[in-house]
Structure 1
């Protein structure tokens, strides 16, 4: 079992190193630009992506807070269970995120969807709503991006077909982006201490 642990960690490390740093930096800048404008960040996904969207939104909204400074407006659409189930039950599951966005999204907001396969219809539909509103749509995916990579304006694709490893790398990248954003909002360059979220 020890070898299995070692192999898994080696595989995760190798995948992280394959992600272009420029893509990660670009997402951090997109979020910082949205913060400077007072725009909002909407995040969502299914299954593990849903959990990561909640985690990422928490980090961005709470972990960047500074007394006396404006707050970063990050919201996980995956957290609104009544809204998700209402749209899924009354229409179709593909509407669970897109219909929420129709109430909320505005030009220059940032819409981040997590889909390990890149084939989640509700994530793809939400990107279309975001694009139509003039928001910046960003995909986190694996499996070469699936169909969603053709719809999202920006993407970070983990070069793997292992769903657990894709999800692990997504959370690592979310933490990297969060720390880059937090450090600049805090005005501490790259040396800020850890957040508690």
Structure 2
């Protein structure tokens, strides 16, 4: 049964006493504009903070792709969708060179079989054991940076010699501290929505910089 927690902290106009349609629409517009400004400011700050890491990570990724490496992405819930979007951007780009990339959550049969037979904590690490090689890249997306199935997979990827990349929010969680992530991009926010919006932009910037390296450039200016 669903809880009765108020949503007023997200959408205060929904719980307002005001029932005038024009006033409610004005409140809705103001709320949307405030969230857009907040998101844009966070994206700018995150890109600035992560700029050097993006350049370094993209160079390392390009080197692995040039050696025939593949990229595996994974996440839970909304982050799983973001991981699939990132894999699709690399494998079917709007322009530039298509690169081998797969979301490890894409195959429902494999995911549910592993969850049922060996436990959900191993659904991604077991796939890396089965498919990955030392030239490959593992990319985990999370808002907390603490999900057990993701940290287990990153530890396995690190043991197998893969390049490991993590996207996290808040303070980075275990992604930022356990030593298994070569490049950790942290979106410093307490809002899941804002974290995922900034992570999407970071992923796009990472892809664009990889493409620049593979084309012989130094990265986007």
Post-superposition Cα deviations, 1:91-148, rounded to whole Å, max 9, x if no partner, equal: 2110110010000121131100001111110000000110110111111000111122
Measure, in 2, the Cα distance between the counterparts of 1:167 and 1:114.
9
Does structure 1 residue 74 correspond to structure 2 residue 104?
A: no
Match of 2:67 in 1: 37
2:136 is aligned, of 90, 99, 109, to 109
Q: 2:198, 2:78 → 1: CA distance? A: 12
Task: Give the Å deviation of 1:184.
Answer: 4.5
Task: Report the alpha carbon displacement of residue 187 of structure 1 after superposing the two structures with TM.
Answer: 6.1
1:10 corresponds, among 37, 42, 47, to: 37
Stretches of structure 1 lacking an aligned partner (at least 5 in a row): 192-197
Take 1:183 and 1:152, find their aligned partners in 2: how far apart are those partners?
23
Name the SS for the 1:42 alignment partner: strand
2:148 is matched with 121
Q: TM-score, normalised by structure 1?
A: 0.87
1:89 matched to 2:113? The reply is: no
| C-alpha contact 2:59 2:213 (8 A) present in aligned 1 | no
Aligned residue-pair number: 188
CA separation in 2, counterparts of 1:65 and 1:36? 18
State the structure with more CA Rg: 2
Q: Which residue of structure 1 lines up, in the alignment, with residue 211 of structure 2?
A: 182
Q: CA deviation at 1:190?
A: 6.9
TM-score normalised over the length of structure 2: 0.78
Structure 2 unaligned regions, length at least 5? 1-27
**C-alpha distance in structure 1 between counterparts of 2:54 and 2:217, whole Å:** 19
